[in-house]
Amino acid sequence: MLHIITDSSAEIAPREAEELGVTVIPLTIIFGDTPYLDGVEIAKDEFYRRLIGGEFPHTAQPSPAQFEEAFRACNGEEALVLLISSALSGTAQTARLVANDFPNVHIYETNCTTCMLRYLVEEAAKNRMRPVSEVVALLDELRPRIRLHAYVDTLEYLSRGGRIGKVTALIGNLIKIKSIVGVSADGRVVMTGRARGQKRAIKEISERFASDMVCPDHPVYFLQSDTDAPARELMEACGRRGDRIFRICCAVGAHIGPNAAGIVYVVK
Protein backbone atom coordinates (compact mmCIF):
# COMPACT_ATOMS: atom_id res chain seq x y z
CA MET A 1 0.00 0.00 0.00
CA LEU A 2 1.31 3.41 -1.00
CA HIS A 3 1.69 6.06 1.72
CA ILE A 4 0.55 9.54 0.66
CA ILE A 5 2.19 12.61 2.21
CA THR A 6 1.26 16.23 1.52
CA ASP A 7 1.41 19.63 3.21
CA SER A 8 -1.18 21.94 4.73
CA SER A 9 -1.64 23.97 1.55
CA ALA A 10 -3.68 21.05 0.13
CA GLU A 11 -6.69 22.16 2.20
CA ILE A 12 -7.14 18.78 3.87
CA ALA A 13 -8.46 19.01 7.42
CA PRO A 14 -7.18 16.60 10.11
CA ARG A 15 -10.36 14.50 10.07
CA GLU A 16 -10.26 14.24 6.28
CA ALA A 17 -6.59 13.30 6.38
CA GLU A 18 -7.45 10.45 8.71
CA GLU A 19 -10.30 9.30 6.46
CA LEU A 20 -8.11 9.47 3.35
CA GLY A 21 -5.15 7.87 5.11
CA VAL A 22 -2.97 10.85 4.24
CA THR A 23 -0.18 12.44 6.26
CA VAL A 24 -0.32 16.25 6.27
CA ILE A 25 2.83 18.16 7.20
CA PRO A 26 2.04 21.73 8.28
CA LEU A 27 3.74 24.75 6.76
CA THR A 28 4.76 27.55 9.12
CA ILE A 29 3.29 31.04 9.59
CA ILE A 30 5.40 33.71 11.27
CA PHE A 31 3.92 36.81 12.90
CA GLY A 32 6.77 38.99 14.10
CA ASP A 33 9.27 36.58 15.60
CA THR A 34 6.73 33.92 16.57
CA PRO A 35 6.27 30.86 14.32
CA TYR A 36 3.03 28.88 14.20
CA LEU A 37 2.35 25.55 12.52
CA ASP A 38 -0.37 26.12 9.93
CA GLY A 39 -3.69 24.74 11.17
CA VAL A 40 -2.08 23.24 14.28
CA GLU A 41 -0.86 26.17 16.38
CA ILE A 42 -2.90 28.85 14.64
CA ALA A 43 -6.47 28.54 13.37
CA LYS A 44 -7.74 30.25 10.24
CA ASP A 45 -10.06 32.53 12.23
CA GLU A 46 -7.19 33.92 14.29
CA PHE A 47 -4.91 34.15 11.27
CA TYR A 48 -7.32 36.23 9.17
CA ARG A 49 -8.25 38.37 12.17
CA ARG A 50 -4.60 39.32 12.62
CA LEU A 51 -4.11 39.76 8.87
CA ILE A 52 -7.05 42.15 8.57
CA GLY A 53 -5.83 43.90 11.73
CA GLY A 54 -2.70 44.99 9.88
CA GLU A 55 -0.15 42.34 10.85
CA PHE A 56 1.88 41.07 7.91
CA PRO A 57 2.96 37.43 8.24
CA HIS A 58 5.76 35.50 6.63
CA THR A 59 5.78 31.83 5.77
CA ALA A 60 8.36 29.09 6.11
CA GLN A 61 8.68 25.57 4.77
CA PRO A 62 8.62 22.51 7.04
CA SER A 63 11.88 21.55 8.69
CA PRO A 64 13.94 18.53 7.57
CA ALA A 65 13.05 16.91 10.90
CA GLN A 66 9.33 17.06 10.05
CA PHE A 67 9.92 15.24 6.77
CA GLU A 68 12.26 12.72 8.37
CA GLU A 69 9.63 11.86 10.96
CA ALA A 70 6.97 11.37 8.28
CA PHE A 71 9.26 9.28 6.09
CA ARG A 72 10.34 7.02 8.97
CA ALA A 73 6.69 6.43 9.84
CA CYS A 74 6.29 4.68 6.47
CA ASN A 75 8.45 1.82 7.82
CA GLY A 76 10.21 1.25 4.53
CA GLU A 77 7.01 1.00 2.49
CA GLU A 78 6.71 3.11 -0.65
CA ALA A 79 5.54 6.67 -0.18
CA LEU A 80 4.46 9.34 -2.66
CA VAL A 81 4.96 12.94 -1.53
CA LEU A 82 2.78 15.65 -3.09
CA LEU A 83 3.71 19.17 -2.01
CA ILE A 84 3.18 22.82 -2.86
CA SER A 85 4.80 23.88 -6.15
CA SER A 86 8.57 24.29 -6.08
CA ALA A 87 8.07 27.64 -7.82
CA LEU A 88 6.17 28.89 -4.75
CA SER A 89 8.07 27.30 -1.88
CA GLY A 90 11.26 25.47 -1.02
CA THR A 91 9.19 22.75 0.65
CA ALA A 92 9.71 20.14 -2.07
CA GLN A 93 13.44 20.88 -2.24
CA THR A 94 13.79 20.19 1.48
CA ALA A 95 11.77 17.00 1.09
CA ARG A 96 14.04 15.83 -1.73
CA LEU A 97 17.16 16.36 0.36
CA VAL A 98 15.71 14.29 3.20
CA ALA A 99 14.42 11.65 0.77
CA ASN A 100 17.99 10.92 -0.33
CA ASP A 101 18.20 8.71 2.77
CA PHE A 102 14.85 7.03 2.06
CA PRO A 103 14.86 5.06 -1.22
CA ASN A 104 11.20 4.15 -0.66
CA VAL A 105 10.10 7.81 -0.81
CA HIS A 106 9.16 9.44 -4.13
CA ILE A 107 8.76 13.23 -4.44
CA TYR A 108 6.30 14.29 -7.14
CA GLU A 109 6.50 17.81 -8.56
CA THR A 110 2.88 18.98 -8.44
CA ASN A 111 3.32 22.51 -9.83
CA CYS A 112 0.27 23.57 -7.86
CA THR A 113 -1.17 24.40 -4.46
CA THR A 114 -4.43 24.77 -2.51
CA CYS A 115 -7.37 22.75 -3.93
CA MET A 116 -5.41 22.03 -7.11
CA LEU A 117 -3.08 20.03 -4.88
CA ARG A 118 -6.06 18.51 -3.11
CA TYR A 119 -7.23 16.95 -6.40
CA LEU A 120 -3.85 15.24 -6.83
CA VAL A 121 -3.85 13.97 -3.25
CA GLU A 122 -7.38 12.60 -3.64
CA GLU A 123 -6.40 10.86 -6.88
CA ALA A 124 -3.31 9.32 -5.31
CA ALA A 125 -5.21 8.19 -2.22
CA LYS A 126 -7.92 6.59 -4.33
CA ASN A 127 -5.32 4.58 -6.24
CA ARG A 128 -2.94 3.82 -3.38
CA MET A 129 -3.09 0.06 -4.01
CA ARG A 130 -1.50 0.50 -7.44
CA PRO A 131 2.26 0.62 -8.10
CA VAL A 132 3.73 4.07 -7.64
CA SER A 133 4.58 4.31 -11.37
CA GLU A 134 0.91 3.89 -12.28
CA VAL A 135 -0.17 6.50 -9.73
CA VAL A 136 2.37 8.96 -11.10
CA ALA A 137 1.02 8.36 -14.61
CA LEU A 138 -2.50 9.15 -13.39
CA LEU A 139 -1.28 12.37 -11.77
CA ASP A 140 0.61 13.34 -14.94
CA GLU A 141 -2.67 13.00 -16.86
CA LEU A 142 -4.75 14.89 -14.29
CA ARG A 143 -2.53 17.87 -13.48
CA PRO A 144 -2.77 19.62 -16.92
CA ARG A 145 -6.58 19.48 -16.68
CA ILE A 146 -6.86 21.33 -13.37
CA ARG A 147 -7.93 24.97 -13.58
CA LEU A 148 -7.80 27.70 -10.95
CA HIS A 149 -9.26 31.17 -11.44
CA ALA A 150 -9.27 33.60 -8.52
CA TYR A 151 -9.34 37.30 -7.91
CA VAL A 152 -7.45 39.15 -5.23
CA ASP A 153 -8.38 42.44 -3.64
CA THR A 154 -4.80 43.71 -3.79
CA LEU A 155 -1.50 42.46 -5.20
CA GLU A 156 0.39 43.75 -2.17
CA TYR A 157 0.57 40.40 -0.41
CA LEU A 158 1.74 38.49 -3.50
CA SER A 159 4.36 41.18 -4.08
CA ARG A 160 5.66 41.21 -0.51
CA GLY A 161 5.98 37.45 -0.56
CA GLY A 162 7.91 37.57 -3.83
CA ARG A 163 5.24 35.70 -5.81
CA ILE A 164 4.84 38.48 -8.38
CA GLY A 165 6.95 41.46 -9.39
CA LYS A 166 6.73 44.76 -7.52
CA VAL A 167 6.09 46.73 -10.71
CA THR A 168 3.14 44.52 -11.63
CA ALA A 169 1.71 44.96 -8.15
CA LEU A 170 2.23 48.72 -8.18
CA ILE A 171 0.43 49.18 -11.49
CA GLY A 172 -2.46 46.98 -10.39
CA ASN A 173 -2.93 48.79 -7.10
CA LEU A 174 -2.63 52.25 -8.62
CA ILE A 175 -5.49 51.76 -11.06
CA LYS A 176 -7.68 50.14 -8.41
CA ILE A 177 -8.38 46.93 -10.26
CA LYS A 178 -9.19 43.42 -9.13
CA SER A 179 -6.47 41.16 -10.43
CA ILE A 180 -7.46 37.73 -11.70
CA VAL A 181 -4.77 35.16 -11.07
CA GLY A 182 -4.08 31.52 -11.79
CA VAL A 183 -1.31 28.97 -11.49
CA SER A 184 0.76 28.29 -14.60
CA ALA A 185 1.80 24.87 -15.89
CA ASP A 186 5.16 25.31 -14.18
CA GLY A 187 3.58 26.19 -10.86
CA ARG A 188 3.91 29.97 -10.75
CA VAL A 189 1.22 32.46 -9.75
CA VAL A 190 0.40 34.47 -12.87
CA MET A 191 -1.94 37.35 -13.56
CA THR A 192 -4.46 36.24 -16.17
CA GLY A 193 -6.78 39.24 -16.26
CA ARG A 194 -7.95 42.48 -14.72
CA ALA A 195 -11.39 43.76 -13.84
CA ARG A 196 -12.68 47.02 -12.44
CA GLY A 197 -14.46 45.97 -9.29
CA GLN A 198 -15.48 42.74 -7.63
CA LYS A 199 -18.63 42.16 -9.68
CA ARG A 200 -16.77 42.37 -12.96
CA ALA A 201 -14.06 40.05 -11.65
CA ILE A 202 -16.69 37.51 -10.64
CA LYS A 203 -18.38 37.86 -14.04
CA GLU A 204 -15.13 37.24 -15.90
CA ILE A 205 -14.27 34.18 -13.84
CA SER A 206 -17.78 32.75 -14.24
CA GLU A 207 -17.53 33.24 -18.01
CA ARG A 208 -14.23 31.33 -18.08
CA PHE A 209 -15.84 28.52 -16.12
CA ALA A 210 -18.85 28.43 -18.46
CA SER A 211 -16.59 28.22 -21.53
CA ASP A 212 -14.78 25.12 -20.27
CA MET A 213 -15.98 21.52 -20.49
CA VAL A 214 -15.95 20.60 -16.81
CA CYS A 215 -15.22 16.97 -15.97
CA PRO A 216 -18.11 15.51 -13.94
CA ASP A 217 -15.82 12.90 -12.36
CA HIS A 218 -14.32 15.52 -10.06
CA PRO A 219 -16.03 18.00 -7.71
CA VAL A 220 -15.92 21.74 -8.27
CA TYR A 221 -14.31 23.61 -5.38
CA PHE A 222 -14.64 27.27 -4.42
CA LEU A 223 -12.10 29.26 -2.43
CA GLN A 224 -12.43 32.12 0.03
CA SER A 225 -10.03 33.98 2.28
CA ASP A 226 -11.45 35.83 5.28
CA THR A 227 -15.14 35.89 4.31
CA ASP A 228 -17.30 33.55 2.24
CA ALA A 229 -19.56 36.25 0.73
CA PRO A 230 -17.49 36.71 -2.48
CA ALA A 231 -17.14 32.94 -2.92
CA ARG A 232 -20.89 32.46 -2.60
CA GLU A 233 -21.48 35.24 -5.10
CA LEU A 234 -19.04 33.53 -7.47
CA MET A 235 -20.77 30.20 -6.95
CA GLU A 236 -24.11 31.74 -7.87
CA ALA A 237 -22.61 33.42 -10.95
CA CYS A 238 -21.24 30.03 -12.05
CA GLY A 239 -24.68 28.48 -11.70
CA ARG A 240 -23.53 26.08 -9.01
CA ARG A 241 -25.21 24.98 -5.80
CA GLY A 242 -23.97 22.89 -2.93
CA ASP A 243 -20.30 22.83 -3.89
CA ARG A 244 -17.72 23.00 -1.11
CA ILE A 245 -16.15 26.31 -0.19
CA PHE A 246 -12.66 26.07 1.26
CA ARG A 247 -11.21 28.80 3.40
CA ILE A 248 -7.69 29.26 2.08
CA CYS A 249 -5.10 27.94 4.52
CA CYS A 250 -2.95 30.37 6.48
CA ALA A 251 0.21 29.68 4.48
CA VAL A 252 -1.46 30.53 1.16
CA GLY A 253 -3.64 33.27 2.67
CA ALA A 254 -0.50 35.10 3.76
CA HIS A 255 0.26 35.70 0.07
CA ILE A 256 -3.31 36.18 -1.18
CA GLY A 257 -4.65 38.59 1.44
CA PRO A 258 -8.25 39.28 2.48
CA ASN A 259 -11.39 39.52 0.34
CA ALA A 260 -10.26 36.96 -2.24
CA ALA A 261 -12.34 34.29 -3.93
CA GLY A 262 -11.83 31.66 -6.61
CA ILE A 263 -12.88 28.45 -8.27
CA VAL A 264 -10.95 25.24 -8.91
CA TYR A 265 -12.13 22.49 -11.25
CA VAL A 266 -11.03 19.79 -13.69
CA VAL A 267 -11.75 19.92 -17.41
CA LYS A 268 -12.44 16.92 -19.64
The number of distinct structural domains making up the chain is 2
Q: What is the pLDDT of residues 16-26, one digit of tens each?
A: 999 999 999 99
CA distance 44 to 18: 20
**Same-domain pairing of 176 and 249:** yes
**Same-domain pairing of 17 and 133:** yes
Q: What is the pLDDT of residues 93-147, one digit of tens each?
A: 999 999 999 999 999 999 999 999 999 999 999 999 999 999 999 999 999 999 9
**Among 102, 154, 163, 108, which residue's Cα sits nearest to residue 132?**
108
Assess if residue 36 is contained within a domain: no
Other beta carbons less than 10 A from residue 104's beta carbon = 14
Assess if residue 35 is contained within a domain: no
176 pLDDT band, cuts 50/70/90, is low
Residue 135: give the domain boundaries: 3-27+61-144
Rounded to the nearest integer, the mean pLDDT of the chain is 92
Looking at residue 167, what is its pLDDT? 43
**What average pLDDT does this structure show over 179-190?**
92
Task: Tell whether the model's pLDDT for residue 38 goes beyond 50.
Answer: yes
**Same-domain pairing of 246 and 162:** yes
Tell me the C-alpha to C-alpha distance, in Å, between residue 160 and each of 28, 99, 223.
Answer: 17, 31, 21
Query: pTM of the full predicted structure?
Result: 0.92
| Largest pairwise CA distance in the chain | 55
**What average pLDDT does this structure show over 175-203?**
88
Domain boundary among 116, 144, 172: 144
CATH (domain of 153): 3.30.1180.10
**What average pLDDT does this structure show over 184-189?**
94
Q: What is the pLDDT of residues 236-254, one digit of tens each?
A: 999 999 999 999 999 999 9
Q: Residue 100 burial by CB count (10 A; 0-12/13-18/19+): exposed, middle or buried?
A: exposed
CA distance 233 to 261: 9
Q: What is the pLDDT of residues 53-97, one digit of tens each?
A: 989 899 999 999 999 999 999 999 999 999 999 999 999 999 999
**What average pLDDT does this structure show over 174-201?**
86
**Among 251, 248, 255, which residue's Cα sits nearest to residue 230?**
248
**What average pLDDT does this structure show over 190-196?**
88
